[in-house]
Amino acid sequence: MNVLVTGGTGTVGSQVVGELVGRGVNVRVLTRDPAKAKGLPPGVTGVAGNLLEPTTVRTVFDGVDAVFLLNAVSMTEAHEGLMAVAGMRLARVKRVVYLSVHHADSFAWLPHFGSKIGVEEALRKSGLPFTILRPNNFYQNDYWYKDALLQAGVYPQPIGDGGTSRVDVRDIAEAAAIALTSSSHEGESYDLVGSELHTGVSTAAAWSRALGRPVTYAGDDLDAWEQQSLTYMPAWMVFDFRLMYATFQKQGLKGSPEAIARETALLGHAPRPFDAFAAETAAAWRASGA
């Protein structure tokens, strides 16, 4: 079986690649930067290309049985996704697993949520066999906050107290690999969530336990968060994410018991808990001398 993974060098895609390799699948990874292909696992083929370019879209899906479609957050995300759907139809791809976002339709005014709705609908109307995965906020996003956690004892992601059902990227990757290698999930959409609700305060407390030192939540001040974030993120992304965090603070991003039950049945195990992720990550940081 030949599977093409888009976004295969990133946080989620690299985990999907690993899951597929472990299942004996032949994997290709589409990347805009050929230099990134040098870091791929042995046996994985890097393919240079850009989903905004018709030349790529007309050729990259040839000879591919299935595609994991991940379009990174960008100002062209929706168009890249639609171009990919068009290319997959031309190539008559046999199976597509698309990475959307939890409650995309409920919060469609958020730019990187709303951009996924058209791609979902395009897949439904495309005639392609598809599965849609809708993950919540990733545990692994907290890797970005290593310095803040270790040096300042602060958890800075302003998720508030609305309650988010955060999820481990490894659960997302496992779900993707299962759906890519089995026909029994065609036409299905799965919310990928954790089994517990997390707030800014509870997340800081989990990191305190894992690190064995006090960690406090930086708070819900989105003006302060925006000013800090503009030093390392483009303005369009900061605007988008600020709206997202305001939504988290007011309404949360919550998984239902039914979603958790379906996810558990898909994976064959319960979603990984955040405390276990934090403890594992803290141990890895200590082992590296951090």
3-state secondary structure 52-69: CCHHHHHHCCCCCCEEEE
The residue type found at 247 is T
What is the model's pLDDT at position 131?
98
Q: Are 65 and 2 in contact (CB under 8 A)?
A: yes
What are the pLDDT digits (tens) for 79-119?
Answer: 999 999 999 999 999 999 999 999 999 999 999 999 999 99
Judged against a pLDDT cut of 90, whether residue 34 lies above it is answered with no
What are the pLDDT digits (tens) for 219-241?
Answer: 999 999 999 999 999 999 999 99
Q: What is the largest CA-CA distance in the chain?
A: 55
pTM over 0.95? The answer is yes
What are the pLDDT digits (tens) for 128-139?
Answer: 999 999 999 999
Helices 111-126 + 77-91 axis angle, to 10: 10
In angstroms, rounded to a whole number, what is the distance separating the alpha carbons of residues 65 and 4? 8
Query: Where does residue 58 fall: left (phi above 0), alpha (psi -120 to 50 degrees), or beta otherwise?
Result: alpha
Over residues 180-198, the mean pLDDT reads 97
**Domains of the chain, first to last:** 2-139+166-194+255-272 (3.40.50.720)
Q: Are 85 and 97 in contact (CB under 8 A)?
A: no
- Kind of pairing, strands 95-99 and 26-31? unpaired
Q: Which residues neighbour 217 within 8 Å (Cβ) at sequence distance 6 or greater? A: 154, 155, 200, 201, 203, 204
Structure tokens at 184: 């029994």
